[in-house]
């Protein structure tokens, strides 16, 4: 098996990148709700939601997978000194992706948007409040649930959803207390914060029909950094799994140009009480799928072997996509990737839970995150 990389104190970590952006540092201290919001002094940031929705239709509820991602990318610092029209800014660029898959039919919808900072896109630095056009994600505290989120999104005129997401367990801080190494380079690190299990309730509208109520569960990642990839890395395979026994699992393999896996790759189990345990892993693609849209070939069905911290014994999980064609073309943001709803099975096919898998760098290396 491969073993997780470990972070250690390093004297060579600079405070800033060569182009003037802050570099994540070990032993971070977070302040909320401020750190749920935007960090424009770091080059790259995203708020990433994936989840599974169910209608209340009888006798068989319909099932959907959804993705809603808000990206912020800082332009070169010299741009901030240039005069800009009152309604726009030069310093921040906002990209957003929305996707929905109908598990029953395989219909896959997706859309992306790209806007400069201004009247049509913004992110608060005081709390979580990010928008791109009429898509938005914000912190909406409720009595007894101060970290409740509200998401409004859709895909053109084909789909529209309004969702309330309530954390079912505490915020997870991946890596070392939220400091997550991504490679050997001193700047290759991020701050990595996650709500690993969100209870979801809201409404979904398809093709202009009447909105139907939906419930389900979701996962939210919030990461910010100034260099997500090392120079010899081309992309990553990432998995967020929500098991039926109340635990979660997060995994990512950072792939190098020579085909090897970077030692900074990691797998973490999240216990029912939110406790984190890192574990060894083996990630073995069993099948592939070639995209008819881009020609990229992606791994699909995966055998994931790891150690269950609850029993201290080896466990084999099968990651099984509901549909192959869940690729998002990067016509605006320049990154094409596969992001899909999956189920988690035992090798004999017994259901264990739900997941989302992300596969990047198969169409071309992910240069934008260096």
Residue 156 neighbours by CB under 8 Å, 6+ apart: 109, 111
| Total number of domains constituting the chain | 1
Neighbours of 361 (CB within 10 A): 22
pLDDT tens digits, one per residue of 309-353: 999 999 999 999 999 999 998 777 678 999 999 999 999 999 999
Which percentage of the chain shows pLDDT scores above 90?
A: 84
Q: Phi-psi category of 361—alpha, beta or left, where left has phi over 0 and alpha has psi -120 to 50? A: left
Q: Is residue 40 part of a domain?
A: yes
Higher per-residue pLDDT: 257 or 229:
257
Q: In the structure encoding, which two tokens stand for residue 23, read together?
A: 């570099």
pLDDT higher than threshold 50 for residue 67: yes
Tell me the β-bridge partners of 354: 242, 343
pLDDT higher than threshold 60 for residue 74: yes
Q: Is residue 3 part of a domain?
A: no
Q: Is residue 370 part of a domain?
A: no
For residue 205, give the H/E element and its range.
Answer: strand 189-206
d(CA 354, CA 350): 12
Three-state secondary-structure class, residue 93: strand
CA angle 234, 237, 242 (to 5 degrees): 160
Q: Is residue 369 part of a domain?
A: no
Nearest to 262 by CA among 361, 191, 328, 356: 361
d(CA 54, CA 204): 10
Yes or no: say if 251 and 357 are a contact pair by the CB < 8 Å rule. Answer: no
Q: Is residue 271 part of a domain?
A: yes
pLDDT tens digits, one per residue of 19-46: 999 999 999 999 999 999 999 999 999 9
Yes or no: say if 275 and 281 are a contact pair by the CB < 8 Å rule. Answer: no
pLDDT tens digits, one per residue of 135-194: 999 999 999 999 999 999 999 999 999 999 999 999 999 999 999 999 999 999 999 999
Yes or no: say if 245 and 268 are a contact pair by the CB < 8 Å rule. Answer: no
Q: Which pTM was predicted?
A: 0.93
d(CA 231, CA 257): 9
Q: In the structure encoding, which two tokens stand for residue 269, read together?
A: 């189990």
Q: Is residue 133 part of a domain?
A: yes
**What is the 3-class SS of 338-353, one letter each residue?**
EEEEEEEECCCCCEEE
Nearest to 264 by CA among 181, 205, 332: 181
Range of the domain at 283: 34-360
d(CA 70, CA 172): 20
d(CA 132, CA 214): 23
DSSP category for residue 34: G
d(CA 225, CA 306): 28
pLDDT tens digits, one per residue of 188-239: 999 999 999 999 999 999 999 999 999 999 999 999 999 878 888 999 999 9
Higher per-residue pLDDT: 90 or 240:
240
Q: Is residue 21 part of a domain?
A: no
**What is the 3-class SS of 308-334, one letter each residue?**
ECCCCEEEEEEEEECCCCCEECCCCCC
CATH of the domain at 337: 2.40.370.10
Yes or no: say if 357 and 340 are a contact pair by the CB < 8 Å rule. Answer: yes
Question: For 348, what's the count of Cα atoms within 13 Å in the CB-facing half-sphere?
Answer: 1
Q: In the structure encoding, which two tokens stand for residue 367, read together?
A: 């240069």
- What pLDDT does 119 receive? 85
Length of the chain: 370
Q: Is residue 365 part of a domain?
A: no
């Amino acid at each position: 098996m491969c073993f997780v990389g470990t972070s250690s104190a390093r004297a060579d970590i600079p405070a800033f990148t060569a182009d003037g952006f802050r570099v994540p540092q070990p032993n971070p201290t977070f302040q909320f709700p401020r750190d749920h919001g935007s960090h424009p002094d770091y080059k790259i940031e995203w708020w990433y939601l994936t989840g599974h929705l169910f209608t209340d239709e009888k006798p068989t509820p319909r099932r959907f997978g959804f993705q809603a991602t808000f990206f912020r990318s800082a332009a070169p610092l010299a741009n901030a000194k240039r005069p800009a029209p009152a309604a726009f800014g030069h310093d921040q660029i906002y990209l957003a992706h929305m996707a929905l898959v109908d598990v029953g039919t395989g219909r896959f919808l997706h859309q992306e948007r790209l806007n400069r900072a201004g009247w049509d896109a913004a992110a608060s630095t005081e709390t979580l409040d990010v928008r791109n056009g009429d898509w938005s994600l914000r912190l909406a505290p409720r009595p007894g649930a101060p970290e409740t989120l509200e998401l409004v999104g859709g895909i053109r005129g084909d789909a529209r959803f309004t969702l309330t997401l309530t954390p079912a367990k505490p915020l997870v801080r991946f890596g070392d207390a939220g400091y997550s190494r991504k490679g050997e380079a001193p700047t290759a690190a991020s701050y990595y914060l996650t709500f690993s299990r969100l209870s979801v309730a809201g409404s979904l509208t398809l093709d202009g029909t009447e909105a139907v109520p939906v419930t389900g569960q979701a996962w939210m990642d919030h990461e910010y950094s100034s260099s997500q990839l090392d120079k010899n890395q081309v992309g990553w395979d990432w998995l967020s799994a929500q098991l039926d026994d109340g635990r979660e699992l997060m995994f990512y393999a950072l792939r190098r140009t020579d085909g090897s896996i970077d030692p900074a790759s990691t797998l973490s189990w999240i216990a029912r009480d939110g406790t984190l345990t890192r574990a060894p892993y083996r990630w073995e693609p069993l099948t592939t799928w070639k995209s008819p849209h881009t020609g990229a070939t992606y791994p699909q069905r995966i055998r994931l072997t790891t150690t269950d911290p609850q029993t201290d014994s080896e466990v084999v999980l099968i990651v099984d996509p509901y549909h192959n064609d869940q690729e998002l073309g990067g016509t605006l943001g320049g990154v094409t990737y596969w992001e899909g709803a999956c189920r988690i099975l035992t090798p004999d096919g017994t259901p264990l839970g739900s997941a989302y898998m992300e596969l990047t760098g198969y169409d071309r290396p992910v240069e934008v995150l260096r």
